[in-house]
Amino acid sequence: MKFDPVEHPHRRYNPLLQQWILVSPHRTKRPWQGKQEDTDLSQRPGYDPKCYLCPRNVRANGEVNPDYGATYVFENDFAALLAEGPDDTLMSTHNGLMTSRPVTGECRVICFSPRHDLTLPEMATDEILAVVDLWCEQYLELVQKHAWVQIIENKGAIMGCSNPHPHGQVWAGSFLPTEPAQVDKSQREYWREQGRPLLLDYVEAELADGSRTVEVNDHWLVVIPYWAMWPYETLLLPRRHVRHLGELTSAERQSMADILKPFLTRYDNLFETSFPYSMGWHQAPGKVAGMDDNRDHWQLHAHFYPPLLRSATVKKFMVGYEMLAEAQRDITAEQAAAALAKVSATEHFRQKQK
């Protein structure tokens, strides 16, 4: 029997996490009578007097936001990491079965815009550039005193976002978290074997192939990764060797804003909804105990993990087999890229509705 990746189940390998994922494209033929998400297509106001993140409003801790006119960053009122804590001492009992150690850090909130109603794809390119610049500034500041700086955005209630005002977060901690530690290990091993960054070679392979490319410009590439786990998962990558956000030139920052707008517009246009996702930057860590200072094996990249599968109301569930065996996806990465390629990258569906 001749293998057909669109019809036959198969596994794909993720070289960053050194894990396999099961691909089952034939499962899209099954009927769906399960959970369907509610959709809210109503247009939010530009300012909400009850929003904790809008300019001039009182936050939950009683502090008042300034009358900010662009991006705005502040210390998270309910931070997951605290700046001060006990000494970093490993505590282990019962032959290592119960082990813990204190950690410290800080968490910040980044409001993308004073506008309550504008997500990144609906913002002007120069406004997106202001967000890009702030990401770079936050990394450069926080990596000086923290082992890991995690910049994230959780977009949409379906992704656990507790406030609809478009915003992101920065978590900086005294430790290298589990997934970045594995990504560091994988890139370091590839560098030792090949003498080149793993993801730079991957960029060249994807540019040559083209079947998973969503957007490309002079400095950046957006692809559905070959090993994608979520249906419309994407990877944003620089086209030259860049270890972290702080190494981006002004032209590359502008180019990132230029590619984010059409790419995220495609997301929203796919199911004509404000496309939910969790995104985050992976980049070279700071000082890590027991690790040398060489970071040349690192290649800057951002992951976008959207949960939607068939429509604005039907999402992919990671349950059962995925939780107990290995990750599984229904449509192939190539099918997902083709679907995104068909929709407009220039006219947002809200503009069309107007």
CATH of the domain at 304: 3.30.428.10
Q: Is 344:265 a contact under the CB 8 Å cutoff?
A: yes
Output the pLDDT for position 28.
65
Q: Is 72:66 a contact under the CB 8 Å cutoff?
A: yes
Residue 94 forms part of a structural domain = no
Output the pLDDT for position 7.
86
Cα-flanking dihedrals φ and ψ of residue 72, to 5°? Answer: -145, 130
- ∠90-96-98 over CA atoms, to 5°? 80
Query: Which residues are marked as active site?
Result: 167
The candidate with the shortest Cα–Cα distance to 243, out of 199, 202, 177, is 199
Q: What digits encode the pLDDT tens for the residues 58-102?
A: 998 999 999 999 999 999 999 999 999 988 889 999 999 999 999
Q: What is the pTM of this model?
A: 0.95
Sign (positive/negative) of CA torsion 345, 347, 352, 354? Answer: positive
Q: Of all helices (H) and strands (E), which one includes residue 202?
A: helix 198-209
Q: Is 167:291 a contact under the CB 8 Å cutoff?
A: no
C-alpha 113/C-alpha 120 separation (Å) is: 9
Token pair 């998973």 is found at 212
Residue 165 forms part of a structural domain = yes
Domain that holds residue 282: 45-84+100-353
C-alpha 288/C-alpha 33 separation (Å) is: 48
In this structure, what DSSP letter does residue 213 have?
A: E
Token pair 């800080």 is found at 106
Token pair 């977009």 is found at 155
Q: Which residues pair with 315 in a beta bridge?
A: 308
Largest CA distance in the chain: 67
In this structure, what DSSP letter does residue 3 have?
A: -
Output the pLDDT for position 5.
85
Take residue 10 and report the two structure tokens written for it.
Answer: 């198969």
Q: What digits encode the pLDDT tens for the residues 149-199?
A: 999 999 998 888 889 999 999 999 999 999 999 999 999 999 999 999 999
Number of domains in the chain: 1
Residue 76 forms part of a structural domain = yes
Cα-flanking dihedrals φ and ψ of residue 184, to 5°? Answer: -60, -45
C-alpha 184/C-alpha 99 separation (Å) is: 23
Output the pLDDT for position 154.
96
Which residue positions in the chain have pLDDT lower than 50? 33
Residue 6 forms part of a structural domain = no
Residue 132 forms part of a structural domain = yes
Residue 4 forms part of a structural domain = no
Output the pLDDT for position 248.
98
Q: What are the counts of helices (DSSP H) followed by strands (DSSP E) for the chain?
A: 7, 14
Residue 308 forms part of a structural domain = yes
Residue 95 forms part of a structural domain = no
Output the pLDDT for position 38.
61
The candidate with the shortest Cα–Cα distance to 301, out of 173, 211, 206, 210, is 206
